[in-house]
């Protein structure tokens, strides 16, 4: 139960932080008139910002899900280590 | 490290009776020996005077009495059972920091326990205001100093950092409802002390702080996206980092996972 809870909390926390950070970067890029760009981790896109004429768009990519999953796994692993240390 | 001018007091909720120190907030008690009862009975006096009194009463060496009083008071302070006050606090801290500089260490922070009785939210906000201000300055000043942000965005990020701290702890206080609790401030560490909770209630109280602050951050980012306000979006993103408090790296996350 603790492992599932740790995984879920880590996943949710990382998803929230990464999503909000990406959105904040997108809003900043839009207002400041940045050139189009794409943030990615390897093949997975985190955020892509596009400008077409007067309109702009930013899209949160599947890389954010990967970041969230990695956060969930890391949190579950850290919880397991903590529990193991406590039992020793 | 304590000095002779320091005084201590028992915070609200901590009482001494029949050789037992009881904490109504945690619902726990600790036995105290007669020497300890003598020291605690002189709450409010300077530690140097208490040590002299202890040496005279128990006919022990004055230096040993001073060391015993200092370690006893420091121990109870670390157990959050008494508050220590120092006259000219910042001057004393600086003098001690200079003396400890060759050892490359700073004076150990002292815990201060603020009772949360009536008007719990107001008390929480008032007690946290200096911390929130310092945290806000610690975030805004470097950004401003290196020219990474202009004054307004830096101030917005500083406000989000400071306001987030208050919101986080206030949410814990609200989630505890009327349960006896106290706010504890120890250096940069801030938390709400309460009796042990079980199961879902424990998780709810633990997660209320990270959840409230990060939810405020998400709302702010969403509003900023709608209004094309990058400064507000950055402030919102900073607030959402409170969600990391739900991971096992933080006290709240460990409590929520039952660790």
Q: Based on the domain organization, do B119 and B89 belong to the same domain?
A: no
Q: Based on the domain organization, do B140 and B246 belong to the same domain?
A: yes
Can you name the residues that pair with B191 across neighbouring β-strands? B184
Last residue of a domain, one of B85, B103, B121: B103
A83 neighbourhood in chain B, CB within 8 Å: 259
Contact check, Cβ <8 Å, B247/A82: no
Number of domains in chain A: 1
Q: Based on the domain organization, do B89 and B11 belong to the same domain?
A: yes
A6 neighbourhood in chain B, CB within 8 Å: 247-248, 253, 257
B229 neighbourhood in chain A, CB within 8 Å: 27, 31
Q: Based on the domain organization, do B87 and B136 belong to the same domain?
A: no
On the question of pLDDT at A81 being above 70, the answer is yes
Range of the domain at B71: 7-103
- Residue whose C-alpha is closest to residue B151's, from B236, B233, B237, B231: B231
- Residue whose C-alpha is closest to residue B2's, from B50, B37, B60: B50
Contact check, Cβ <8 Å, A20/B256: no
Residue B203 contacts residue A4 (beta carbons within 8 Å): no
Q: Based on the domain organization, do B123 and B250 belong to the same domain?
A: yes
Q: Based on the domain organization, do B173 and B78 belong to the same domain?
A: no
Asked, for residue B1, whether it belongs to a domain, the answer is no
Q: Based on the domain organization, do B241 and B200 belong to the same domain?
A: yes
Average confidence (pLDDT) per 10 residues, chain B, 259 residues: 82 93 95 95 94 93 93 94 85 83 85 91 95 95 91 94 97 93 93 92 95 96 93 95 96 91
* C-alpha distance from A34 to closest chain B C-alpha (Å): 13
Asked, for residue B2, whether it belongs to a domain, the answer is no
On the question of pLDDT at A12 being above 90, the answer is yes
The span from the CA of B55 to the CA of B68, in Å, is 10
Range 3-32 of A in CB contact (< 8 A) with B: 5-6, 9-10, 12-13, 16-17, 20-21, 23-24, 26-28, 30-32
Range of the domain at A64: 2-87
CATH number for the domain that contains residue B39: 1.10.10
**pLDDT of the residue at B1:** 60
3-state SS of A8-35?
HHHHHHHHHHHHHHHHHHHHHHHHHCCC
* Angle between helical axes of B34-41 and B62-78 (0-180°, round to 10): 80
**pLDDT of the residue at B2:** 66
Of A5, A10, A24, the CB nearest to B221: A24
Number of domains in chain B: 2
**pLDDT of the residue at B117:** 83
- The continuous run of DSSP H or E covering B180 comes out as none
Residue A75 contacts residue B253 (beta carbons within 8 Å): yes
**pLDDT of the residue at B5:** 84
pTM of this prediction? 0.88
**A85 CB near a chain B CB, below 8 Å?**
no
**pLDDT of the residue at B128:** 96
- The continuous run of DSSP H or E covering B246 comes out as none
Of A5, A10, A23, the CB nearest to B233: A23
Q: Based on the domain organization, do B24 and B116 belong to the same domain?
A: no
Last residue of a domain, one of B103, B132, B151: B103
């Amino acid at each position: 139960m603790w492992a599932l809870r740790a995984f879920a909390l880590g996943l949710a926390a990382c998803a929230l932080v990464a999503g909000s950070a990406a959105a904040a970067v997108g809003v900043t890029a839009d207002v400041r008139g940045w050139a189009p760009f794409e943030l990615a981790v390897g093949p997975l896109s985190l955020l892509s910002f596009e400008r077409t004429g007067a309109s702009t768009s930013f899209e949160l990519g599947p890389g954010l899900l990967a970041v969230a999953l990695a956060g969930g796994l890391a949190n579950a692993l850290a919880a397991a280590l903590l529990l193991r240390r406590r039992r020793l | 490290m304590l000095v002779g001018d320091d005084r201590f007091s028992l915070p609200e909720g901590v009482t001494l009776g029949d050789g037992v120190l009881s904490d109504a907030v945690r619902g726990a008690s600790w036995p105290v020996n007669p020497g300890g009862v003598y020291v605690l009975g002189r709450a409010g006096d300077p530690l140097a005077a208490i040590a002299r009194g202890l040496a005279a009463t128990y006919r022990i060496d004055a230096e040993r009495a001073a060391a015993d009083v200092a370690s006893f008071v420091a121990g109870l302070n670390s157990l959050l059972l008494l508050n220590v006050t120092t006259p000219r606090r910042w001057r004393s801290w600086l003098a001690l920091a200079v003396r400890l500089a060759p050892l490359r260490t700073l004076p150990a922070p002292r815990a201060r326990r603020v009772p949360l009785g009536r008007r719990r939210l107001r008390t929480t906000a008032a007690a946290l205001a200096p911390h929130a201000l310092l945290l806000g300055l610690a975030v805004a000043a470097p950004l401003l100093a290196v020219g990474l942000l202009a004054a307004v965005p830096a101030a917005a990020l500083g406000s989000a950092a400071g306001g987030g701290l208050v919101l986080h702890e206030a949410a814990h206080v609200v989630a505890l409802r009327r349960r006896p609790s106290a706010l504890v401030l120890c250096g940069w560490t801030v938390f709400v002390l309460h009796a042990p909770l079980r199961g879902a209630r424990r998780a709810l109280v633990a997660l209320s702080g990270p959840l409230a602050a990060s939810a405020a951050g998400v709302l702010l980012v969403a509003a900023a996206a709608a209004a094309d306000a990058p400064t507000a979006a950055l402030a919102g993103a900073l607030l959402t980092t409170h969600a990391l408090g739900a991971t096992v790296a933080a006290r709240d996350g460990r409590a929520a996972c039952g660790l």
